[in-house]
Amino acid sequence: MKAVNHRHLPRSLGLLAAGLGGLISGALLVSSFNAASTSFAFFKPDAVYPQPTPMQLKAILHYATAKVVPQQSPAEIRLSFDVLVSIAPCNFLVFGLGHDSLMWASLNPRGTTIFLEEDPSWVIGILKNAPSLHARPVKYPTRLSQADSLLSTYKSEPACLPGNASLRGNNRCKLALCDLPHEVYEKEWDVIMIDAPRGYFDDAPGRMGVIYSAAVMARARKKSGVTHVFLHDVNRRVEKAYAEEFLCKKYLVKGVGRLWHFEIPPAKSTDLHATTFC
């Protein structure tokens, strides 16, 4: 964090606004890669940029002085960074609250970024330092130990099949996140980041429901374009298997480290009777 390359800091406030996104990313990327010049490829010196948001200014201050940094690697962060820079302001849904949250919200200036977090006390802790984040606690009904049986049996429940799949109130399908905050169902999400809940011990909730529900959200999209879904920890068996079943290898556009990036199109009307997601 301390190794920000000052040669790249803008000289005037106007340029500061232009460089903000890059600065946040740069603080993360420069320290590891010492390759800041490539991080500013989107920066156009003659363009007129809007003023930085209060959230972005807070993020600069935070990450310039932070002792604890996000868990995703700089190269992984860069993957979502590039998408956010190209489509922001957008609707960005993030599963998991952490040391990266202020960065994600700042990379979507003037957009909507909502964080869903399994641990209510962790929400309170993070919001103490960053009260402007829009974070909500959520309960997950699954356990990681159920991952294999949920995957092998979901097709026998019609409410889980892609043609019928819905989320809000769909308590017949155990993979559907049917009880999320209402605001989650009321928007179409352009970018979905899955970096939670925890999925590394048997009693943890696992990411099965989140991966399934992200696929359902993406397939239900009415707006033009695709839904970008980022899934972290794809080195783990359950994340990989659920990604292949619901997010589909054919929609995987890039992978870096432990992060996969999918671009999922809306379902076609001819998919109405499909029995598989891919």
Ligand X SMILES: C[S@@+](CC[C@H](N)C(=O)[O-])C[C@H]1O[C@@H](n2cnc3c(N)ncnc32)[C@H](O)[C@@H]1O
Considering the complex, what minimum distance in angstroms separates the CB of residue 136 from ligand X?
Answer: 12
Which residue lies nearer to ligand X by CB, 117 or 245?
117
Nearer to ligand X, 77 or 215 (CB): 77
List residues binding ligand X (CB under 6 A).
70-72, 96-100, 117-119, 122, 195-198
Separation between Cα atoms, residue 213 and residue 152, nearest integer Å: 17
Distance CA 55, CA 53 (A): 5
- Tell me the torsion sign for CA atoms 162, 168, 173, 179: positive
In the bound complex, what is the minimum distance in angstroms from residue 243's beta carbon to ligand X? 16
Q: Which is nearer to ligand X, 88 or 259 (CB)?
A: 259
Q: Nearest distance from residue 16's CB to ligand X, in Å?
A: 26
Q: How far is the CB of 196 from ligand X (least distance, A)?
A: 3
Q: Shortest distance, CB of residue 96 to ligand X, whole angstroms?
A: 4
CB 124, min distance to ligand X, A: 12
Closer by beta carbon to ligand X, 95 or else 277: 95
Map the chain to HEC letters. CCCCCHHHCCCCHHHHHHHHHHHHHHHHHHHHHCCHHHHCCCCCCCCCCCCCCHHHHHHHHHHHHCCCCCCCCHHHHHHHHHHHHHHCCCEEEEECCCCCHHHHHHCCCCCEEEEEECCHHHHHHHHHHCCCCCEEECCCCCCHHHHHHHHHHHHHCHHHCCCCCCCCCCCCCCCCCCCCCHHHHCCCCCEEEECCCCCCCCCCCCCHHHHHHHHHHHHCCCCCCCEEEEEECCCCHHHHHHHHHHHCHHHEEEEECCEEEEEECCCCHHHHHCCCCC
8 vs 136, beta carbon nearer ligand X:
136
Return the number of the residue (18 or 208) whose C-beta is nearest ligand X.
208
Return the number of the residue (8 or 258) whose C-beta is nearest ligand X: 258
Structure token digits, residue 64? 């310039």
Give min distance, CB of 125 to ligand X, in A.
8
